[in-house]
Amino acid sequence: MTDLRALLGIEHPVLLGPFGGLSSVALAAAVSEAGGLGGYGLYGYDGDRIRSTVASLREATSRPFAVNIWLPTGDEVAPNPQHTVFAQALQPFYDAVGLEVPARPERYVPSLDEQLDAIWESAPPVLSTVFGVPSGDLIEQAHRRGIRVVATATTVAEAAALAEAGVDAVIATGFEAGGHRVSFLRPPEESLVGTFSLVPQVVDAVDVPVIAAGGIADRRGVAAAFALGASAVQVGTAFLATAESAANQAHRDAIRATPADGTVLTRAMSGRLARGARNRAVRAIEASGTIAPFPMQNWLTGRFRAAAGEQNLGELQSLWMGQGAPLARYSTAAEAFAELAAGVPQKP
């Protein structure tokens, strides 16, 4: 099997999970400079913002990095008259941060074609995808430009579909992971496989390198992932708690204060299932029974969540984190990376 380090041009098989809305150039560059693979989430970015972000990443590090996009699943809703109904249901949250209820936009997110045009032009070293199987054309276009393609699975069947499509590596993400459950063959509620069960079965099922994700936050988790057959690990929460991430202090404090059984899988914030702390906003939206479909709900809550983040109001933010949150004890990216790298088996 291809050596993942050689494939991605990295020294240590430690990848930074890409965060939708919480990625930072500083954190991605810090991980890449340490010899791993920095990651940056491009969810919601239009073409111009993608070009400028990739340019900023290149200015910050000369080493490989990855950018991440969400593939359309076909069930996304466009702005429609229901927007006003769902927006008004969230008025108390807008009031709490001093915002007016937002009017209906022309679109909630840029098109995949617009994002890909910018990615092909910018040619980042690695492109990672979630929520589906990259098309043959996407993979061909990437490879033509020297871009490696890494895709994400939550079940063995999803991993097999990705490998068959021709991706360079598969991320096997267990249900312990923070943020969105990126299932695509079956509903996420029916695709909740733990990392410890998922990784070895994916390793047995595919012939490309497997990257383990979910609940890994220190050297012990890294060692376990390699014992299960993984070629690398992808880590989110442990890095999200560091000073270089775009998380504010309220979010970092919540990561360190939330026990492993204190997170919840919820559709409250985005309309799709995701793992984070059950704060006041999550509890209230779930109790209301009024949750718009994706990406309408994500756009609507995003308006007050952004303002809450600026005001350091953790109870009104999306406090994404995985079940390994209590292990996220490191204040800088360098400290977190050194701890994780210490769990990688030495080459014989």
Helix (H, G, I), strand (E, B) or coil at 169: strand
- Supply the pLDDT for residue 348: 62
- Supply the pLDDT for residue 2: 74
Percent of the chain at pLDDT > 70 equals 99
Residue ranges and CATH numbers for the domains of the chain are 4-75+109-258+324-341 (3.20.20.70)
Q: What is the pLDDT of residues 14-43, one digit of tens each?
A: 999 999 889 999 999 999 999 999 999 999
Closest C-alpha among 181, 170, 191 to residue 234: 170
Indicate whether this model's pTM tops 0.85. yes
Closest C-alpha among 148, 168, 150, 157 to residue 202: 157
Contact between 150 and 169 (Cβ < 8 Å)? yes
Going residue by residue through the chain (348 aa), what tens digit of pLDDT does each one get? Answer: 679 999 999 999 999 999 988 999 999 999 999 999 999 999 999 999 999 999 999 999 999 999 999 999 999 999 999 999 999 999 999 999 999 999 999 999 999 999 999 999 999 999 999 999 999 999 999 999 999 999 999 999 999 999 999 999 999 999 999 999 999 999 999 999 999 999 999 999 999 999 999 999 999 999 999 999 999 999 999 999 999 999 999 999 999 999 999 999 999 999 999 999 999 999 999 999 999 999 999 999 999 999 999 999 999 999 999 999 999 999 999 999 999 999 999 876
Q: What is the pLDDT of residues 232-264, one digit of tens each?
A: 999 999 999 999 999 999 999 999 999 999 999
CA distance 292 to 270: 8
Instruction: Measure Cα distances from 106 to 111, 120, 237 in Å.
Output: 12, 25, 33
